[in-house]
């Protein structure tokens, strides 16, 4: 049985709880109160919770822990939480904080009915993610299986597939808005399907005019490859080749000062005022515009991202 005693200002509880052949030892700890009646209530609730847990296993704790407990434990995790996550937990606690973990599905349904009316599906999904994360964190710490939440209605499901490409007119307008020394880079990104870093690392000795190909020595996956040169890329590179005095080596694309690019972001600042195209990822846009037509690179190989970005 559990007993209480007063140590200093507050009452403390300790003892054991036995159910059948199993005995649970409760180490002495504070009840958090200096009133005997409140301490007795705490002792009775603690004993009832322990008996329920012994009878129903670790899952029995879901009937004593609440959504507020989950939020409090989640807020105390190492590294803390972002301000917006704290705000969402406050909103959740205000509506369904007193619901037990065992009733998490009912709690989420109630919260969605009371708090999520008239807001965007993306906002509802963020509330759901925070709600789910808090329960999962508590379940991992306490060693029980987290309860399942009801499935999202079709109207609240968000398509995670991101489709982004430029039309022919937008692509032409975008290239024309670049500075003259940047346009060859944009043309290469558009018609060769190269990544930004791959394009900026191309050297003149890797451009084979006779074989009409470009050798990419360094790629994101670490594998070198050779690409057939698109006719528009060949024309742009040839003009650049003549302007630079027909060099046999060195970096192909240079800044307006005649030095290689150190930061790929230098030429990614697109003037949306001049072009009317609102996109911050030029390389993805060029590859998307290619995928709309054929889904293949200039060398005939199918791009890995084509199936995920085709309109």
- The predicted model scores a pTM of 0.42
Q: Which residues pair with 15 in a beta bridge?
A: 2, 26
Under a CB-based contact definition with an 8 Å cutoff, are residues 91 and 71 in contact? no
CATH superfamily membership of 168-309: Intergrase catalytic core (1.10.443.10)
| CA within 13 Å, CB half, 292 | 16
For residue 4, the cross-strand partners are 13
Please state, in angstroms and rounded to a whole number, the distance separating the CA atoms of residues 67 and 117: 21
Rounded distance, CA 198 to CA 253, Å? 11
Q: From CA 311, how far away is CA 306, in angstroms rounded?
A: 10
Half-sphere exposure of 164 (CA within 13 A, CB side): 14
The predicted pLDDT at position 163 comes to 62
Give SS3 for 23.
Answer: strand
pLDDT per 10-residue tile (average), the chain, 311 residues: 90 88 86 91 86 69 86 90 92 94 92 90 90 92 85 67 78 90 92 88 92 88 87 93 91 89 53 46 46 44 40 40
pLDDT attached to residue 160:
61
The pLDDT assigned to 271 comes to: 42
How far is CA 308 from its chain centroid?
A: 18
**pLDDT confidence of residue 299:** 45
Burial 249-271 (b: 16+ CB within 10 A, else e): eeebbeeeeeeebeebeebeebe
The residues with which 177 forms a beta bridge, in sequence order, are none
Would you say 297 and 192 are in contact if contact means Cβ atoms under 8 Å apart?
Answer: yes
Q: 200 near 260, Cβ under 8 Å?
A: yes
| Helices 121-142 & 83-96 angle (0-180, nearest 10) | 80
Q: Between vectors from CA 289 to CA 306 and to CA 276, what angle results, nearest 5°?
A: 140
Among candidate residues 188, 193, 187, the one with its CA nearest the CA of residue 174: 187
Alpha-carbon distance of 134 to 50, in angstroms, equals 23
Q: Which segments of the chain does DSSP mark as H helices, in order?
A: 36-56, 67-75, 83-96, 104-115, 121-142, 168-177, 183-192, 196-200, 231-243, 272-275, 282-293, 306-309
Residues in the chain: 311
């Amino acid at each position: 049985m559990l007993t209480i005693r007063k140590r200093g200002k507050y009452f403390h509880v300790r003892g054991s709880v036995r159910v059948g052949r199993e005995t649970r030892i409760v180490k002495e700890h504070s009840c958090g109160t200096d009133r005997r009646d409140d301490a007795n209530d705490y002792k009775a609730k603690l004993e009832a919770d322990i008996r329920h847990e012994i009878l129903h296993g670790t899952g029995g704790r879901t009937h004593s822990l609440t959504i507020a407990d989950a939020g409090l434990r989640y807020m105390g995790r190492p590294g803390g939480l972002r301000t917006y996550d704290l705000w969402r937990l406050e909103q959740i606690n205000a509506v369904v904080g007193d619901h037990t973990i065992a009733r998490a599905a009912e709690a989420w349904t109630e919260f969605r009915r009371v708090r999520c009316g008239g807001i965007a599906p993306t906002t509802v999904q963020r509330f759901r993610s925070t709600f789910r994360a808090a329960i999962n964190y508590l379940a991992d710490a306490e060693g029980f299986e987290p309860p399942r939440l009801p499935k999202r209605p079709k109207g609240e499901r968000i398509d995670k597939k991101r489709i982004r490409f430029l039309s022919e007119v937008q692509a032409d307008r975008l290239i024309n808005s670049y500075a003259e020394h940047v346009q060859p880079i944009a043309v290469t990104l558009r018609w060769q399907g190269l990544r930004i870093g791959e394009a900026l690392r191309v050297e003149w000795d890797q451009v084979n005019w006779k074989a009409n190909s470009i050798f990419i020595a360094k790629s994101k996956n670490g594998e070198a490859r050779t690409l057939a040169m698109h006719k528009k890329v060949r024309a742009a590179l040839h003009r650049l080749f003549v302007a630079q005095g027909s060099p046999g080596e060195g970096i192909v694309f240079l800044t307006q000062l005649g030095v290689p690019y150190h930061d790929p972001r230098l030429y990614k600042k697109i003037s949306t005022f001049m072009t009317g195209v609102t996109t911050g990822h030029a390389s993805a846009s060029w590859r998307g515009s290619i995928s709309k037509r054929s889904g293949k690179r200039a060398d005939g190989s199918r791009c890995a991202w084509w199936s995920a970005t085709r309109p």
